[in-house]
Structure 1
Amino acid sequence: MTRHPDYPSSPTGSLTAAILLQEVAILRRRSGERDEARRLYADVLARLNEPDHPGHAEARLQTRFALSNLLHDEGRTRQVLHAERENLTEVTAAVRRGVLDEERLAFAAYRTGQAAMDWGDFTCAVEAGEIAVRTYLRLTEA
């Protein structure tokens, strides 16, 4: 098979490869191969290097959520909270740039609040919850 020389480095090519790798990572996680899943998630994130490409931003978010879920599987609640805070920061920036919808911000804030409650950081949980509620209200009352 002949491959176009620009395809792997194009936003579409890297997005396609990343999505396929993400599916393999999910299967590895479900089969208990967590280290391999973690390695694949890191590879996926490295391929999604176009922050202003909506497809890349969405796939990054889904991958970061999956990585956070992997940490949750392992009972690493402190690391889950750290990961969710990073997710919220990245989503907030993407929403401000107009790359992701505010629905994603509300969901990322919700996840951050849940992780904060699990860890026992109730101040963070309240702050994240307020972001989620304000965003959901803005979306539903618009």
Structure 2
Amino acid sequence: MLKAGRAVKHGRFFTSRAADCRHCDLARLCLSNGRVNKAVVLGDDYPALLRARRRRERWSDEDRALYQRHRWRSEGYHGEAKTWHGLSRAIRRGLINMKIQAYLTAAAVNLKRLASASLSILLFVYSQEATSSARHSLRQGKVFGIGLSVASA
């Protein structure tokens, strides 16, 4: 039996009595070495966590596949931001400063992706123009800048 204890900044302590744990069959599994009772901190939003866990248990196979894809894509993005763009360490203290750093990092990554996409579009267009001009040269009988006369029938 866990009884509500003192409140902490993000939740509340719940503790058991040592006498209750002493007679419990699961004490050796539940308690760490040297402890005589159980102490647990439950966050203020614990009911929301329970609802989320229950909702996840009802997911269909399609929902699981969709979440797996989302997790794969977002983890790669976050890993890149942490590894290559300095998001692994906070530059300044405070939540507001960390938010600013995260926004600037996201902007840098998005600009990098935009530049990469623009470059690939330009290269594609250039390669299409180069191949179409090469085809045009072949139709006219020009090979390596040398005009060859092709008899037309």
TM bucket (normalised to shorter chain) is under 0.3
Scaled by the length of structure 1, what TM-score is found?
0.21
- Larger fraction in strand: 2
| Bigger RCO (CA 8 Å, 6+ sep) | 1
Larger Rg: 2
